[in-house]
Amino acid sequence: MELLSLFGTADQKTRWLAPLLEGEIRSAFSMTEPEVASSDATNIATRIQRDGDHYVVNGHKWWTSGAMSPRCRLLIVMGVTDQDAERHRRQSMILVPTDTPGVDIVRSTSVFGYDDGPHGGHAEIVYDNVRVPIGNLLGEEGEGFRLAQERLGPGRIHHAMRAIGMAERALEMMCRRTAARSTFGRPIIEHGVVQRWIAQARVKIEQVRLLVLKTAWLMDTVGNRGARIEISAIKVAAPEVATWVIDRAIQAHGGAGVSQDHLLAELYAVARILQIADGPDEVHHMAIARRESRRYRESVAA
């Protein structure tokens, strides 16, 4: 929706954005590919080739989250339109209706043992000579990388906020459980090691929450591009806090913590995938380090 509202033509908005905003249909973003290391977006191999009034899409994607839903009618596909262009100008995005001939939704991939249900499922999709009109291109040819950057910013802060919510919930569950049970003559919550987990969880959550708030404020004031590095920072930091807190909450629950009786193991799976999705931690670390170090490298060169 963000992409369409920002970069869609009037026609595209009428046809797709309106029903999306009404909640009648859903869309999914199809970027990651099983055969290449997608953390380097220039590895993407799917081809989007012009053929008269159409583009022909050929490629193999997965982790197209949301595409398992029967209400998903639109796929936004990232692919190479010009192999010979400058690295960040090779790719474009195109709108592919789910029912276009050649679109084959193969299966859902699981996250740990969870398939994230019919609406949340992560689809593997083969695009085999999928033809769409040229009017389906989103933005200009070669703008795919730039558009992805625009989309991923807001997406990432949503993820970070959800990660904080998960961490809060896990901390509450940890406290509730350990207050209600005793070992060795005391409520578990009074054991020193558990107290340390609780204190560390609270201190970690407060810190990362403030960084997310600051980032949101930056996005509002200087825009997604200006907040790019802060977005990378919370993309790494929030899931790191969440996985840590959830993991300690699991430990405090004993066997119940990994079972279907509590949400914790499922929360862990969600938080853990956030360290991989939308660029793994390693890519964001590189971006943060690059900006941090830029002025020093220049001063050396000068």
Tell me which residues in 118-177 interact with a copy of itself (CB under 8 A): 122, 171-172, 175-176
Applying CB under 8 A, among 12, 30, 32, 98 the residue interacting with a copy of itself is 32
**Does residue 200 bind a copy of itself (CB under 8 A)?**
yes
- CA dist., res. 136 & res. 9, Å (int): 9
Angle between helices 192-226 and 228-253 (to 10 degrees): 160
Residue 40, Cα to own-chain centre: how many angstroms? 15
Nearest distance from residue 11's CB to a copy of itself, in Å? 33
- CB nearer to a copy of itself: pick between 55 and 268: 268
**Does residue 109 bind a copy of itself (CB under 8 A)?**
yes
- CB nearer to a copy of itself: pick between 95 and 151: 151
**283: Cβ contacts below 8 Å, ≥ 6 apart:** 39, 40
Cα separation values, 292 from 4, 91, 106, 289, Å: 33, 28, 42, 5
For residue 109, the one-letter residue type is T
**Does residue 302 bind a copy of itself (CB under 8 A)?**
no
Binding mask 232-271 for a copy of itself (x = CB under 8 A): -x--xx------------xx--xxxxxxxx---xx-xx--
Nearest distance from residue 36's CB to a copy of itself, in Å? 7
Q: Which of residues 56-75 bind a copy of itself (CB under 8 A)?
A: 62-63
Question: Hey, is 108 helix, strand or coil?
Answer: strand
Nearest distance from residue 198's CB to a copy of itself, in Å? 4
- CB nearer to a copy of itself: pick between 94 and 269: 269
Helices (H), ranges, the chain: 2-7, 10-12, 18-22, 117-120, 144-180, 192-226, 228-253, 264-273, 281-301
- CB nearer to a copy of itself: pick between 7 and 145: 145
- CB nearer to a copy of itself: pick between 4 and 111: 111
Whether the Cβ atoms of residue 38 and residue 49 lie closer than 8 Å to each other: no
Nearest distance from residue 262's CB to a copy of itself, in Å? 11
Beta strand 182-183 with 186-187 is antiparallel
